Structure 1
Amino acid sequence: MNQTACQSGRSGTLSPRWARLSGLAIPLAALVCLGSGCGAAYYQKAADRAAYAVIREKGPLVPNMEPDFTLERTNLVDLESLPINDTVEEFLGPDGINERGARRVNLEAALALAVSHSRAYQARKEQLYLSALSLTLTRHNFVPVFSASGQGRFGGQTERAVRYELDQTTGELRPVLSDNLVEERSVSGSGQIQAAWLIRDVGRLSASLTTSFLRFLSGGQRPSSQLTATFIRPLVRDAGYMQQMEALTQAERQILYDLREFVQYRRDFSVQIASAYYNVLGERDRVRNAWLNLQSSRRNAERTRALAGEGRVTQTDLGRLAQQELSAESAWINAVRSYKQALDNFKLQLGLPLDTPLVLDDHELESLQIRHPDISVEDSIRIALAARLDYQNAQDQFVDAERKVQLAANMLKPRVDLTGSVTLRSDPDDTTGLVLPDPGRYSYAAGLDIDPGLDKTSERNAYRAALIARDQAARRVEQLVDEIKLQVRDSWRALDQAKRNYEISEIGVRLAERRVDEQNLLAELGRARAQDLVDAQNDLVNSRNQRTQALVAHTIARLQFWNNLGILYIKDRGQWQEVTHVQLP
């Protein structure tokens, strides 16, 4: 008997039912491995689909949202479509030869490059993407969520063998432990499938199916399974799962806020790129003016040297003009350095390598015009309060704060939950193999779980904090109204000031040009004073620089003015649409 038990423990055979179950385990394990081995690329694409779907869904709610939002970008800078610069500007001196073969970039192309390659712009897009991705997880918590787990074990242990002897008194067989040890091997396994669903305004429903088995290879098995479903519905505090639903509501609203902030960032970004672009052109124009001043100073110095050789001018005048020549050359060298530095900074802002050969288009500066909007400050403020996205966010966030006050007040109430559960179990006497829950073997329960909440300190503090947060949100709205009025008024004044500065600089250039012509004529006659000639030449350079700066300043001030009003429309490649007509709200 002992020998039989020992042999059976070492080399037990599987029943046909167990053999079929073992055969199913192999493909099941393969499916699990396949499911877990879909690859990182699969999950990346799945995340992209979900996040982009959220942005496409919410994007139309925000005017001027980027229509084809994507994180895809290339690290390769493609400038092949841009024209090649084949001229060498004399005013750049030896550095001018470096511009031959460089790509000429106009403002539209610069904005497109910035949108495609700017690291700051890409980081801002990633921030919006992560916000949308966060919403997908929050939404996922409010759909049926399934999970599964399983385990399998093979083991063995030694036990004292059992033999059966006939009881002389009763005439029945009785077990008798032997001193011999035998090895008893067993295979066990268990699995569980769960589902949970938080249904809005209904309650939380969860279900689980568990099954387990234990089979001794020497014979005998103990399978079991159970199906359980539970339901919970808060009736008073947290009724309808207000807290959990608030998380979903806030996440839905947060993506709207983030979309508005991204649209505002696009506007600010285009204005920044345009400002930097014109700043580089302004620095280039300063180099040109400095070069012209240097050439004029050299001519004046040479002419004065000739007159000094004839004794028609004093050495003091000659020295003053020679000093002017040196000062003009130093100013030109400094201007070239400032231009090259500004161009490198602009490349960095675009996200381009610093060694990329690039030349900005001078025609962009030549085509600038004074386009002064005809609108009053009061009308501008009305438009800003109707169109500003940050003001819309502040108003909606005040609504959020009010909703959180109501939620905190609800948490002060006692907890009363309606609960119910149903369980189906398998037949414990069924040892034939894998068994399923028997509908006839059930149990159920229903009732109320009550918590009067005798200690409300935490809830009390949360409610008071929510009231303070609501007051703070209200003050933020009031503060933002005043800040918007201040920004609009300041930008309107800056725009008007830039217009006046340009008009003044135009007059200054004409006066300086007449003074220089007059002093040059007197110098040819030998009647000019060196100081007057130097002053006239310097004033001409300064007036030209001021005119360029005033023209650029007015253009940027106009863009910033429309941006502060919230009506600067940005196209998909960063270019703005010029505002020609403003409709009052």
Structure 2
Amino acid sequence: MPRLPSVRRQSFAVILITGILLVAGCHRGYYRTQADADAYAIVNEKAQNPHWALPRQTIEIDPRSRMFDPFDRDRPPMPTDDPTAHQLMHYVDHKRGYPHWHANGDVDTAENPDWMAHLPVDENGVLNLTADQAYQLALIHSRDYQQQFETLYLSALDVSAERFRFDTQFFGGYQSTGAITGSGNDLTASTYSTQTGRSGLPAGGVAVGTLGSAGGRGSNQLLARRSFSTGADLAVGLANSLVWTFDGSNTFTPTTLLNVGFIQPLLRRAGRDRIMEQLTLSERTVLSNVRQMERYRSAFYVSTMTGRDPGNGASRRGGVFGSGLEGFTGVGGGFGGVGGGGGGGGNSGITGGTGAAAAGGYYGLLQTQQDIRNQKVTIAGLRSNLAQLRESLRENLTKIPDDPETILRERLQIAQARQALLNAESRLLNSLASYQSTLDNFKRTLGLPPQLCVNIQDDIFSQFNLISPETINSQAEVAELRADIGLVNEQILELLRAGGVDTEPTQAVWSDELAERLRMQRAMIDRIRNIYQNVAATTVTQTRKDIERLVQSLDDRKQDLLTIKTKYTDEFVNFELYGGLDPCQVSLLTKIDASVYDVEALDAVPAKLNEDVERLEAQFNSYDEPLAEIQSVIEGLLNAEIKPSGAELAELLEQRVIFATPSLLSELSEDILDVSLVQARARTHTVRVEPIDLKWDMAVELARRYRRDWMNARTSLVDAWRLIEFNADNLEGILDLEVNGTLRSDNSDQLQMALRFDAPITRLTERNTYRQSLIEYQQAKRSYYAYVDGVTQSLRNTLRTIDLNRVNFEERRVAVLSAIDQVVLNDQIQKLREERGQEAGVTAARDVVSALADLQTAQTDFLNVWVNYEVQRLNLDLDLGTMNLDSEGNWIDPGPIGGPYGYPAPIGFEESEAGYIFELHAEEPELLPNPLTSPDSELPVPMSEGNEARSSRRTFRPVPQPQPPADLQFPIVPASYDVSPAAMRRLPSIH
């Protein structure tokens, strides 16, 4: 008993040393960086193929991102909690909680507090976004995009866990035990480990013997274990024990044991088909995920630009019970989550109207912007028409018309014109509200908050500004000026009639108020001069350049028209047997109006437009003289020492100022409208689409060769097939060979060998699982060819929509030109009636409203068809698997496709791929007899009359794989493939 304090001190010292060693272990950050290193290495290993050389392979977030976490990743501060729920973290069920929840600090935001500082906003806090900038912001801030890479990362961690199962695993520690008894006191120091079975491997495995020890849980050995792909398991244990006995003799007893155990299953749980399945599946899943993420990058670009669903990204098969495929049963996975789908927005451009479906994403916003501009042009025309009708009414009110109904008809037309203007303004307000809501949604898809001020600006659709913004502004200024001058003229007339009770102007007198109104009129004349000089300097010059571009594009336009003419005249004759319908649903058969592909008429367009420009330029130059005359009259009155009065003053102002100015403005408005329509004609004739001449079967073969998700679909099918062998293993009996050997320090060595057999008597659960795997494989096969059907249908729909848009684009072009003719004809009719002194026609207002509405509709349809054509080109490039992105992630436009233009190919795709490697010679598949014709078949097969002869001729044989057409030549991407910025086109240039 006197030695007890010494024993306690020694025990305390051993425990203290052990605790220090434990505390000195690795910290959290070490394990995080180790996990990153393993995952990134695995992803990089699978991304070595140039066809899916994934540029981004990490989950690190850009510091500019809203998602970036600037705090310690291993000890993040506590985010803001709900106050009531937070109480339960500190006191719950009358018990105090963990006291150090706030040890890492507190933070009041879940996003990067400094992310706004990195946005390229202007001085007003507005973010101006081009298409490229929008996509780059999406790459930085998109939550969905980041999550896909995190899923890829987690699937790589599953591989690291599965690989670890076949690594040599070490477990060990040390323990110290003290015992106080009546007969004596013992202090024991020995090896210790909590691991007794093989870590993370399927049930079973070898166990090693242990030293007898005093108390505690687990094994008192240092363990080393290794499992092999054959199912074998090897364990080596080293146990050491040091015992001090304090009973007067003070004895010291060391004991050492080396134990080796080995087990090799020979039937059940044996073989690589069973043992390596989880590792094989996890490795193949990461490979599929890398390929899927390479496709997802392209799909994400298409989604940002057009609003198309990007589809599936990376998927994870493990993670149910932590890292790895722990709990994997071999059933329930079905076709898997990798490589499914096959859709592709092919018929998204088909509508029941005359145009095409509107795009989403960034293109949709630009499309809406252009539609808003078109609406503003229409509103400017309606306002001009309303002002002209009001001037006509004002003039008729100064005289007694021959027909009493004239005033009433003009008031009716003014009411109709006003109603049309109000309706157009309401539609514009609705369009603006819809645009703002769509922009808020788009900001969220980029990962930006909806309250952020954003301005969408890009010149992608600039060729569809059929009327330049400068011309629109000039029209708006003229309409505003006409209203202002009309108001001033009314005030002048009131002042001229204020001198006599009979309201006749014969008693008109000069006054300061009249002088002030004339000064206002003089200032407005200067505004008129600025407007027509600006139009002559800008709009006329722009129109000449537009005509030059039209001349340069004539050859391409003629070729486009001849292609359409050939397609829609020759092919129609070939299908008269089927009522003019293509039974294979490939060609759109209808008789197109000859004006759509009239090549001869196209040749005469530039000359006619140049003639109109020359006439209008001379017209603009002719405004100097009448304006100078009006200004001279006003200056003469203002500067005259003796002012005229009475009838002389009234006549001078009415005839040479009040009536002359509105007439001049009316002519100017008409001339600006004329030059804008000439410009619209030139631009309408110039716009083209990139030709695509691709047959659907060729498209399917390209997709079969290049689509990464098609590769993944084949991978998933084989995964389901492989599980048949995996589950069939459990139907076998258990036959294990086990060897155990022990070396002891006391020379009592031991060697034991055993052969164990368990007959497969009870296998009901295993039988059911095996049958389920057979069914799931059949389901996987059906899912695979359903995927192929989906890809085929999608490509057919896309090509069909492209063909539709191509001819519809020419139809809408003619519709725009026809709508322009309506506006011009209405203007010419109005001029003729004015020259003859006739009143406006009964339907004049409605004719103008109808013509402007038709022009707006035709412009909108024209734009929509072109945009949808570009959307389908993006879809086609993506769905063929040939889409290439530059170093910034932007689309490399392949240009024309098919026929003489060649076919696209992804950068880095090799001409030949590695063949399959078989362990043995592949056997020919065994075919089952036909159950419909076999005489030994016991299956009752009902047969209807007439089927017997057909079934007797039917034989079962392997279905041949579809072969490419005889003339199919897959493109080869040369090593010198030019991906420089100069060679990259986001959208086709307009020739």
Task: Provide the residue aligned with 1:527 in structure 2.
Answer: 840
Deviations, residues 374-403 of structure 1 (Å, cap 9, x unaligned): 211221122122222232222222222332
Letter in 1 for 2:416: R
Three-state SS of the structure 2 residue aligned to 1:579 is coil
Identify which of 550, 555, 560 aligns with 2:870: 555
Match of 1:346 in 2: 442
Equivalent of 1:461 in 740, 754, 768: 768
Residues 1:31 and 2:31 are matched in the alignment: no
11 and 336 in structure 1: CA distance in 2 versus 1, 3 angstrom threshold: closer
Which digits, 9 at most, give the CA deviation of each residue in 1:242-287, with x for residues without a partner?
4221111111111122223222322221111111011011111122
TM-score, structure 1 as length reference: 0.83
1:66 touches 1:572 (CA, 8 Å); kept in 2? no
Number of the residue aligned with 2:742: 423
Change (3 A) 1:382 1:513: same
Rounded to whole Å, the distance in 2 between the matches of 1:548 and 1:13 is 91
* Alpha-carbon separation, structure 1, partners of 2:777 and 2:867: 44
- Alignment partner of 2:851: what SS? helix
2:388 matches 1:303: yes
> Letter of the aligned partner of 1:8 in structure 2?
R
User: Which consecutive unaligned segments of at least 5 residues does structure 2 have?
Assistant: 66-114, 193-221, 307-360, 397-405, 464-686, 896-901, 905-968, 971-991
Q: 1:208 aligns with which of 215, 218, 237?
A: 237
For 2:697 and 2:883, the matched residues in 1 are separated by 18
Amino acid at match of 2:230: D
Confirm or deny: 8 A CA contact 1:391 1:477 kept in the other structure.
no
Please tell me whether the aligned partners of residues 273 and 725 of structure 2 are also in contact (alpha carbons under 8 angstroms): no
Aligned partner (choices 128, 131, 149) of residue 104 of structure 1: 128
Q: 1:278 is aligned with what amino acid?
A: Y
Q: Can you list the C-alpha shifts for 1:136-184, whole angstroms capped at 9, x where unaligned?
A: 1111111111122433344545x3x7xxxxxxxxxxxxxxxxxxxxxx5
Query: Would you say 1:289 and 2:374 are equivalent positions?
Result: yes
Match of 1:172 in 2: none
- What is the Cα deviation at residue 329 of structure 1? 1.1
Q: CA deviation at 1:405?
A: 1.6
1:537 aligns with 2:852: yes
Q: How many residues align?
A: 524
Q: Within 5 A, what are the aligned runs for 1:237-252?
A: 237-240=268-271, 242-252=273-283
Partner secondary structure for residue 155 of structure 2: helix
**Which residue pairs with 2:45 in the alignment?**
57
Q: 2:778 aligns with which of 471, 480, 487?
A: 471
Shift in Å, 1:531: 0.9
Structure 2 counterpart of 1:42: 30
Instruction: Report the Cα distance in structure 1 between the residues aligned to 2:38 and 2:287, rounded to whole angstroms.
Output: 16
Preserved contact between residue 389 and residue 410 of structure 2 (Cα < 8 Å): no
Pairing 1:279–2:267 present:
no
Range with greater deviation from structure 2 (236-245 or 22-31)? 22-31
In 2, Cα distance between the equivalents of 1:62 and 1:405? 33
Indicate if the aligned counterparts of 1:287 and 1:336 stay in contact, CA closer than 8 A: yes
1:50 Cα offset (Å):
0.7
Aligned residue among 124, 127, 147 for 2:148: 124
SS at match of 2:55: coil
Q: Is contact 2:385–2:845 with CA below 8 Å preserved after alignment?
A: no
Shift of 1:40: 1.8
Taking the aligned partners of 2:302 and 2:791, their CA distance within structure 1 comes to 18
Deviation at 1:221, TM superposition (A): 4.4
Query: After the TM superposition, which of the residue ranges 450-459 and 199-208 deviates more from structure 2?
Result: 199-208
Q: How does 1:120-159 map to 2 (within 5 A)?
A: 120-154=144-178, 156=180, 159=182
1:519–1:532 contact (8 Å) kept in structure 2: yes
Structure 2 match to 1:94: none
Aligned to 1:190: 190
Structure 1 match to 2:757: 450
CA distance in 1 between partners of 2:753 and 2:887 (Å): 59
Q: Which amino acid aligns with 1:406?
A: E
Q: Do the aligned residues in 2 keep the contact of 1:425 with 1:442 (CA within 8 Å)?
A: yes
Pairing of 1:167-186 with structure 2 (within 5 A): 185-186=185-186
Query: Helix, strand or coil for the counterpart of 1:423?
Result: strand
| Shift of residue 561, structure 1, vs aligned partner | 1.4
Distance 1:12 1:382 in 2: 82
Of 436, 446, 454, which residue of structure 2 is paired with 1:358? 454
Following superposition, the deviation at residue 79 of structure 1 comes to 8.8
Moved more, 351-360 or 483-492: 351-360
Residues 61-105 of structure 1 deviation map (CA, whole Å, 9 limit, x = unaligned): 47244223221113635799998779xxxxxxxxxxxxx663432
User: Residue 499 in 1 paired to residue 814 in 2?
Assistant: no
**2:255 matched to 1:267?**
no
User: How far has the Cα of 1:543 moved from its partner?
Assistant: 1.5
Mapped contact 2:393–2:411 kept (Cα < 8 A): yes
TM superposition shift of 1:533: 0.6
Give the Å deviation of 1:290: 1.5
Say whether the 8 Å CA contact 1:142–1:197 is kept in structure 2: yes
| CA distance, structure 1, for counterparts of residue 778 and residue 128 of structure 2 | 54
Note closer, same or farther for the CA distance 1:30–1:208 as it changes in structure 2 (3 Å cut). same
Separation (CA, whole Å) in 1 of partners of 2:54 and 2:62? 18
Q: In structure 2, what residue type is equivalent to 1:119?
A: R
8 Å CA contact 1:271–1:559 kept in 2: the answer is: yes
Checking the alignment, whether the CA contact within 8 Å between 1:75 and 1:117 is kept in structure 2 is no
298, 307, 320: which one aligns with 2:416 = 320
Structure 1 counterpart of 2:2, one-letter code:
Q
Alpha-carbon distance in structure 2 between the residues aligned to 1:252 and 1:285:
49
Could you give the per-residue CA deviations for residues 549-572 of structure 1, whole angstroms, max 9, x where no partner exists? 112111111111122222222345
- Match of residue 571 from structure 2: none
- Aligned equivalents of 1:543, 1:116: Cα separation in 2: 39
Change (3 A) 1:404 1:334: same
Equivalent residue runs for 1:8-23 within 5 Å = 8-11=3-6
Identity among equivalent pairs (%): 28
TM-aligned CA deviation for residue 511 of structure 1: 1.7
Contact 1:402 1:470 in 2 (8 A): yes
- Corresponding residue number in structure 2 for 1:582: 903
Q: Which residue is equivalent to 1:568?
A: 883
Secondary structure of 1:576's partner? Answer: coil
Q: Is the 8 A contact 1:234 1:241 kept in 2?
A: no
* Correspondence for 2:333: none
Which whole-Å CA distance do the structure 2 matches of 1:185 and 1:308 have between them?
A: 124
Would the aligned equivalents of 1:203 and 1:241 in 2 still touch at CA under 8 Å? no
- Normalising by structure 2, what TM-score? 0.50
SS in 2 for 1:207: strand
Match of 2:975 in 1: none
Give SS of 1:104's match.
strand
User: SS of the counterpart of 2:128?
Assistant: strand
Two-structure CA RMSD over aligned residues (Å): 2.8
Counterpart selection for 2:430 from 334, 349, 369? 334
- The structure whose residues are more often strand, as a share, is 1
How far has the Cα of 1:488 moved from its partner?
Answer: 0.8
Asked if the contact 1:106/1:360 (under 8 Å) is kept, the reply is: yes
What SS is found at the alignment partner of 2:703?
Answer: helix
SS of equivalent to 1:7: coil
Q: Which amino acid aligns with 1:348?
A: R
Secondary structure in 2 matching 1:63: helix
- Cα deviation for residue 9 of structure 1 reads 3.8
